[in-house]
Amino acid sequence: MKEHNPDNPILHEAVNGAQSQHTPAKTPKKRDLDTMMNTGFQGTTSSAPHSFPIPKPNLERDFQMSVQLNPKISVGPGIWGQRNWVSFISGHWNGRWGKGTVVPGGQDSQLIAPDLSTHIDATYLLQTHDHPPAFIAVKMDGWRVGPREILEKLEDPAHIDEIDPKTYSFRVYVHMETGDTRYLHLNTGMWIASGVRRGTEGLFIIVP
């Protein structure tokens, strides 16, 4: 004997074979980015509806940096891809909150994917022109990607200066650390950078 359970329409359909009438779920309306930024996300509470605006992120040039690089050293193929090692000879930087030099000895551990996309994992030290100077540890993490033929030329010193920077993407995330009280605000900052290669030099524009 088939059982009937009017309180559970899904179970009723499975057991008795009856067709249950279900109201289709409403498709939520799409909201464009400008609408969300200007009017905020809509929400409800037990008492009244509310909205809250989302601040737009603003990207402004914060500082720029130029680094002289030693020739890369091939560590060899590993389980994740080809590993290269690039050390920093020197460099200089300037920006809204200071200027100074890049301390010799920084390093970039590069991982080359089969399509020649390059993962950047760089660590180096900035020195300010203050008296006495402050020292700021910097960590860069990101990717250099593009068409294979362009990435091949980036690895060739004879052709690297011929490449239009718009034909590839070189983007990294930057964060900094220091114990100097004059620059403590850097410890909680977040930056992204756009880079290019020119000869033995790496150039970066860095924005918060």
Nearest to 56 by CA among 31, 78, 33: 33
Query: Residue 87 pLDDT > 70, yes or no?
Result: yes
Higher-pLDDT residue of 146 and 39 is 146
- The whole-angstrom separation of Cα 206 and Cα 58 is 13
9-13, 79-83, 137-141, 172-176: lowest mean pLDDT where?
9-13
- Find out whether 184 and 200 touch, Cβ atoms under 8 Å: no
For residue 182, the model assigns a pLDDT of 97
Query: Residue 22 pLDDT > 50, yes or no?
Result: yes
10-14, 58-62, 90-94, 167-171: lowest mean pLDDT where?
10-14
Query: Residue 101 pLDDT > 80, yes or no?
Result: yes
Provide the residue type at 42 as one letter: Q
Where helices occur in 50-121 by DSSP H, the ranges are: none
- In percent, the amount of the chain with pLDDT more than 90 equals 60
